Amino acid sequence: MFSTAFLDLPPLASVQGSVQLPGSKSISNRVLLLAALSQGTTEVRDLLASDDTRVMLDALRQLGCTVDEAGGGTVRITGLGSSTPPSPTQLFMGNAGTAMRPLTAALALLGGEYELSGVPRMHERPIGDLVDALRQLGCRIDYLGNQGFPPLRIAHAGGLPPLQLQAPIRVRGDVSSQFLTALLMALPLVARQQDVVIEVVGELISKPYIHITLELLARFGIAVRHEQWQRFTIPAGSRYQSPGLIHVEADASSASYFIAAGAIAAGASGQKGIKILGVGLDSIQGDIRFVEAAQAMGARVTGGPNWLEVARDTWPLKAIDLDCNHIPDAAMTLAVMALYARGTTVLRNIASWRVKETDRIAAMTCELRKLGATVEEGADYLRVTPPAQSGDWRAASIHTYDDHRVAMCFSLAAFNPAGLPVRIEDPKCVAKTFPDYFEALFQVAQTDADRIPVICIDGPTASGKGTVAAAVARALGYHFLDSGALYRITALAATRAGLEISPDNEPRIAELARQLPVRFAGDRIWLGEEDVTDAIRTEQAGMNASRVSALPAVRGALVALQHGFRRLPGLVADGRDMGTVIFPQAPLKVFLTASAACRAERRYKQLISKGISANIADLRADLEARDARDANRSASPLKPAQDALVLDNSEHTIDEAVMQVIDWWQARQPFGA
Q: How far is the CB of 566 from ligand DC (least distance, A)?
A: 14
Question: Rounded to the nearest whole angstrom, what is the least distance from the CB of residue 484 to ligand DC in the complex?
Answer: 2
Asked if residue 208 lies in contact with residue 287, where contact means CB atoms within 8 angstroms, the answer is: yes
| Cα distances (Å, whole numbers) of residue 575 to 389, 490, 501, 506, 581 | 42, 15, 20, 21, 11
Cα gap 260→291, rounded to integer Å: 9
For 667, other C-beta atoms within 10 Å of its C-beta total 8
What residues make contact with ligand DC under the rule CB under 6 A?
Answer: 461, 483-484, 487-488, 542, 545-546, 549, 575-578, 626, 630
Q: Using the minimum distance from each CB to ligand DC, give the nearer residue, 129 or 574.
A: 574
* Residue (118 or 575) nearer to ligand DC, CB: 575
CB neighbour burial string for 608-628, b if at least 16 within 10 angstroms, e if fewer = eeeeeebeeeebbebbeebbe
Specify the DSSP element, H or E, that contains 197. Answer: strand 196-201
Q: Which is nearer to ligand DC, 4 or 483 (CB)?
A: 483
Which of 546, 562, 544 lies closest to 494, judged by CA?
A: 544
Give 98 or 549: the residue with its C-beta nearer to ligand DC: 549
C-beta of 130 vs 457, nearer to ligand DC: 457
DSSP category for residue 428: G
Task: State which residue, 347 or 554, has the beta carbon closest to ligand DC.
Answer: 554
What whole-number distance in Å separates Cα of residue 191 and Cα of residue 215?
18
- Rounded CA-CA distance 260/255 in Å is 9
> Which DSSP string corresponds to 51-91?
HHHHHHHHHHHHTT-EEEEEETTEEEEE--TTPPPPSSEEE
Going by the DSSP 8-state scheme, the letter that residue 548 receives in this structure is H
For the chain, the first-to-last Cα distance in angstroms comes to 25
Choice between 250 and 456, CB closer to ligand DC: 456
Chain Cα centroid distance, residue 583: 30
Q: 299: helix, coil or strand?
A: strand
Pick the catalytic residue from 129, 329, 482, 622.
Answer: 329
Query: Are 37 and 80 within 8 A, CB to CB?
Result: yes
* Alpha-helix residue ranges (DSSP H) falling in 310-460: 331-337, 360-370, 404-410, 437-444
* Closer of 394 and 547 to ligand DC (Cβ): 547
Active site annotation includes 648: no
Are the CB atoms for 145 and 126 separated by under 8 Å? no
Question: Least distance (Å) from ligand DC to the CB of residue 537?
Answer: 8
* Per-residue CA distances from 347 to 259, 398, 608 (Å): 18, 21, 65
Nearer of residues 426 and 482 to ligand DC, judged by Cβ: 482
SS3 114: strand
What is the helix (H) or strand (E) element at residue 210, kind and residue range?
A: helix 207-219
How near is the Cβ of 653 to ligand DC at its closest, in Å? 20
| Beta-sheet strand order (sheet of 152-156) | 89-92, 112-117, 152-156, 141-143
Sign of CA dihedral 617, 620, 624, 625: positive
Quick one: 296 or 553, whose CB is closer to ligand DC? 553
One-letter amino acid at 534 equals: D
Q: Which residues are catalytic?
A: 329
